[in-house]
């Protein structure tokens, strides 16, 4: 399922995903034009337990049905650690996967090239979000996210997953230290997600890699919505760490 994005605002402040809209899930994938989202230097995350949204962001994202006064966020560390959202929201610690079964508690993931995943089981009413870059891919963040929502009652086969705008295989060149880590963790499988570029480098397709890992974890291919919007290709609309941007995009969703 690849039903695309719908922009909101002029200029576009955030997108919504067709499949998640159809399921009635409040969510937003921000652009660089969304006001009031705090920018962080690396690591891509808040550095303490203070909500990284100003009042302007709350006003804009409220239009998506998100109560930002209850948002849950984390200090992302490029791993596969998981936290359940605190009751009422707030700082969840140093993790890259957030889950909840509580209504109207938004979960937020910050990115600037890495993938943000939204995982939703509309039958079990369980929600998860995950931050997945190449390190998260190597460390098993994607299957860990599926397991984390399953622990709250979701079924992998019933999950709908959306992948937010992130760097595409057109722009994501990596070198031998990265490919060595992929080889160590995934064996030769990583080669199906890479194309040679210049000497010692490949163009890596994190979209295909994580779509495959989702399917291996039990998610139906028809339930994966990836609009394939590359952050590095659209500097007028999106932030890209590879392009030298210090700003951050946020993917946020909440159970209705």
Torsion of CA 82, 228, 164, 241, to 10 degrees: 90
Number of Cβ within a 10 Å radius of residue 230: 18
Each domain of the chain, given as residue ranges in start order, spans: 5-168+206-253
pTM: predicted TM-score of the whole model, two decimal places: 0.94
pLDDT at 207: 98
State both tokens at 62.
């409220």
pLDDT at 1: 45
Question: One digit per residue, pLDDT tens: the chain, 256 residues?
Answer: 456 899 999 999 999 999 999 999 999 999 999 999 875 433 434 445 567 888 999 999 999 999 999 999 999 999 999 999 999 899 999 999 999 999 999 999 999 999 999 999 999 999 999 999 999 999 999 999 999 999 999 999 999 999 999 999 999 999 999 999 999 999 999 999 999 999 999 999 999 999 999 999 999 999 999 999 999 999 999 999 999 988 999 999 999 9
Q: Are 99 and 84 in contact (CB under 8 A)?
A: yes
How far is Cα 173 from Cα 197, in angstroms, rounded to an integer?
8
The hierarchical CATH code for the domain 5-168+206-253 is 3.60.140.10
pLDDT at 43: 40
């Amino acid at each position: 399922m690849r039903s695309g994005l719908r922009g909101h605002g002029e200029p576009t402040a955030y997108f919504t995903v067709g499949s998640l809209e159809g399921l009635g899930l409040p969510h937003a994938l921000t652009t660089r034009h969304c006001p009031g989202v705090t920018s962080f230097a690396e690591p891509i995350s808040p550095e303490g337990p203070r909500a990284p949204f100003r009042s302007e962001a709350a006003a804009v994202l409220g239009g998506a049905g998100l109560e930002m006064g209850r948002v849950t966020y984390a200090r992302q560390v490029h791993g596969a650690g998981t936290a359940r959202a605190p009751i009422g929201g707030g700082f969840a610690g140093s993790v890259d996967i957030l889950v909840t079964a509580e209504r109207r508690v938004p979960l937020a993931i910050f990115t600037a090239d890495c993938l943000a995943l939204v995982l939703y089981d509309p039958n079990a009413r369980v929600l998860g979000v995950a931050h997945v870059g190449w390190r998260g891919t190597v460390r098993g963040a994607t299957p860990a996210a599926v397991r984390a929502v399953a622990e709250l009652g979701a079924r992998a086969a019933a999950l709908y997953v959306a992948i937010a705008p992130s760097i595409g295989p057109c722009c994501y060149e990596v070198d031998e230290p990265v490919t060595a880590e992929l080889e160590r963790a995934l064996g030769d499988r990583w080669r199906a997600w890479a194309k040679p570029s210049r000497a010692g480098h490949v163009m890596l397709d994190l979209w295909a890699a994580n779509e495959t890992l989702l399917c291996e974890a039990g998610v139906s291919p028809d339930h994966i919505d990836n609009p394939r919007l590359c952050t590095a290709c659209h500097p007028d609309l999106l932030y890209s760490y590879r392009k030298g941007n210090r700003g951050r995009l946020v993917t946020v969703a909440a159970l209705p």
